[in-house]
Structure 1
Amino acid sequence: MHTKAAPSFALLQDRRTLPLIEAYFELHHLKQLYRQGWLRVGIPRETCESVAEHSFFVALLCLFLADSYFPEADASKLVRMALLHDVGEARAGDITPHDGVSREEKQRREREAVERIFSELPRGADYLALWEEYEQGASFEARLVRQVDRLEMGLQATVYEHQGAGDLSQFFASVHKVLETPELQALLAELETLRPAR
């Protein structure tokens, strides 16, 4: 797994501290963890986004989309879910379909990480329940965050294409597969018009 630095939780060297501080050091690794799929297609490390950057933009998009297109959605829930959806990667890593890890094993690793990270936080059970809701697609908000997660990847792919990364159509194909709502499909269609000529 390619990272900018070693996991930040190692800096605590098995010292016990307040649960919030421990959680911060665990989650800080998301700032160091490259999105592995971009590296696989040749995006240089100096411009490759981290998992934390991705999660932040998914949360922003969820907020803006709720306000603009989905007033029936619980915007607070969308943003909270978006912020939590990749938390397990702090320990499990950014496992991609090309890593040879089964979907079940990926989910097991991420669940174990999420349980550990949330275990001592005062509302840890609530965070875990929200993360599970996302994983299971058990609500409108969970399914919307899953779609926005992919839409953000398409937006990032467009940026990389404009920066000279070449044809990243494989990422757009992945986005097309999960977008269910006409609103997000229309956004993707508009985004496609902004891609550089191939």
Structure 2
Amino acid sequence: MQTKAPPPITHLQGRRTLPLIEAYFELNHLKQLFRQGWLRVGLSRERCESVAEHSFGVALLCLFLADSYFPEADATKVVRIALLHDLGEAYVGDITPHDKVSREEKLQRERDAVERILAKLPRGAEYLALWEEYEHGTSFEARLVRQVDRLEMGLQATIYEHQGAGDLSQFFASVHKALETPELKAVLAELETLRPSV
């Protein structure tokens, strides 16, 4: 797993502190962790987004989309799920399909990591339940976040293509498979018109 720096939690080894501070040092690793799929297609480390940057984009898109396109969704819940959805990667890393890790193994590793981070917090069980809801797609809000997670990847791919990264069609194929709602499919169709000729 390529990272910008070692996990910040290593700075606390042997030291006791507030659970909130410890959780922050753990989740801060998402700022250090590159999105591995972009590196695999040759994007330089200097231009590659971190998992935290991706999660931030997903959370904002979820807010905007829930408010504008999905009034039936609980927008607060959508944003909360979006903020938590990649938390397990702080310990597990950004596992991609190329890593040949089964869905079950990936889910278990990430669940263990999320529980490790959240268990120390006063409302940790509530946050863990939202993360589980996302992973299992047990609510409309969770399924919406899963789709927006992929849509954000398509938006980022378009930007990278404009910056000279070449043809990133493989990422768009993944987005197409993930989208279920007509509203998000329409956003993707519009996005496709903005891609440069590659």
TM-score (norm 2): 0.99
1:42 maps onto 2:36 in alignment:
no
Match of 1:124 in 2: 124
Match of 2:149 in 1: 149
Match of 2:6 in 1: 6
CA distance in 1, matches of 2:15, 2:181: 47
Match of 2:183 in 1: 183
CA distance in 2, matches of 1:50, 1:140: 27
CA distance in 2, matches of 1:128, 1:109: 14
Match of 1:79 in 2: 79
1:112 maps onto 2:112 in alignment:
yes
CA distance in 1, matches of 2:14, 2:193: 51
CA distance in 2, matches of 1:38, 1:192: 19
CA distance in 2, matches of 1:68, 1:108: 34
Match of 1:137 in 2: 137
Equivalent AA in structure 2 for residue 69 of structure 1: Y
Equivalent AA in structure 2 for residue 3 of structure 1: T
Cα RMSD after superposing both structures: 0.5
Shift of 1:103: 1.2
Q: Which runs of 5+ in 1 are unaligned?
A: none
CA distance in 2, matches of 1:162, 1:110: 33
Shift of 1:16: 1.5
Equivalent AA in structure 1 for residue 50 of structure 2: S
CA distance in 2, matches of 1:94, 1:148: 17
Shift of 1:14: 2.8
CA distance in 1, matches of 2:14, 2:76: 35
Match of 1:168 in 2: 168
Equivalent AA in structure 1 for residue 71 of structure 2: P
Q: How does 1:78-97 map to 2 (within 5 A)?
A: 78-97=78-97
Match of 1:51 in 2: 51
SS in 1 for 2:129: helix
Equivalent AA in structure 2 for residue 187 of structure 1: V
Q: Which runs of 5+ in 2 are unaligned?
A: none
CA distance in 2, matches of 1:105, 1:136: 14
TM-score (norm 1): 0.99
| Identical residues among aligned pairs (%) | 82
CA distance in 1, matches of 2:8, 2:51: 14
Equivalent AA in structure 2 for residue 49 of structure 1: E
CA distance in 2, matches of 1:144, 1:10: 35
Q: Which runs of 4+ in 1 moved over 4 A?
A: none
1:62 maps onto 2:62 in alignment:
yes
